[in-house]
Chain A
Amino acid sequence: EADIYQTPRYLVIGTGKKITLECSQTMGHDKMYWYQQDPGMELHLIHYSYGVNSTEKGDLSSESTVSRIRTEHFPLTLESARPSHTSQYLCASSEPGQGGRYGYTFGSGTRLTVV
């Protein structure tokens, strides 16, 4: 049962449009992450946050931006979508504190197609 929610599940949008992918979790997790997953299925970290007002860029450069105004909410925005942004975007969160014992909880993903 998912405690982390991503909307929309699928999105087809035209080039140049601004889009926001939503991610919310109800577990009180402080750390949240965005991954881009291409057809080859490899996961690339594009953004992460350690708490409110904390955001960092990940290992893969991305034209998207994120914000973390509330603990439970971590939206990703593309100001001007391009076909190269076509991909699946996965949101994840992990528990407070140190240790990383329990890994991540993932959302169901948003499959974005830019035409």
Chain B
Amino acid sequence: AQTVTQSQPEMSVQEAETVTLSCTYDTSESDYYLFWYKQPPSRQMILVIRQEAYKQQNATENRFSVNFQKAAKSFSLKISDSQLGDAAMYFCAYRSRLGWGNKLTFGTGTQLKVEL
């Protein structure tokens, strides 16, 4: 079974600075997807960015980018020019590409605080 580990329960960043959230995973598969989700306080969880394992190029979405290291099974999220609205719980997730009905496996989350 796959596992996802987020070793940072909490992180803080100054507004306009850059922060990196860590995520590692364990799998024996070679084809899969990785995701970062954001859950603001009392609001809906939304997808921030996703990465397809067969693509070597790191995904980027505006101020959000990932550092995908397949051999190391590492998938970190970098947030540039942090804004107050980035404060939220961030979940890393894994999904196998194989098999019908494949489910997401989530990490335990990292609470990000953005300070003025």
Instruction: Give the B-binding residues of A (Cβ under 8 A).
Output: 2, 31, 33, 40-43, 45, 48, 50, 90, 97-109
Contacts and interface: CB of A to CB of B under 8 A. Distances in A.
Interface of B: 33, 35, 37, 39, 43-47, 50, 52, 89, 91, 93, 95-104, 106, 108-109, 111
Contact of B47 (A99, A100, A103): A103
Contacts of A31: 101
Contacts of B98: 98
Contact of A48 (B95, B97, B103): B103
Tell me what chain A mostly uses at the interface: helix, strand, loop, or mixed. loop
27 contacts: A33-B103, A41-B89, A42-B108, A42-B109, A43-B91, A43-B109, A45-B103, A48-B101, A98-B97, A98-B98, A98-B99, A99-B97, A100-B33, A100-B95, A101-B33, A101-B52, A103-B33, A103-B35, A103-B93, A104-B104, A105-B47, A106-B37, A106-B44, A106-B45, A106-B46, A107-B44, A108-B43
B104 to A, nearest CB: 6
A57 B100 CA distance: 17
Contacts of A40: 108
B44 A103 contact: no
B46 to A, nearest CB: 7
A79 B63 CA distance: 46
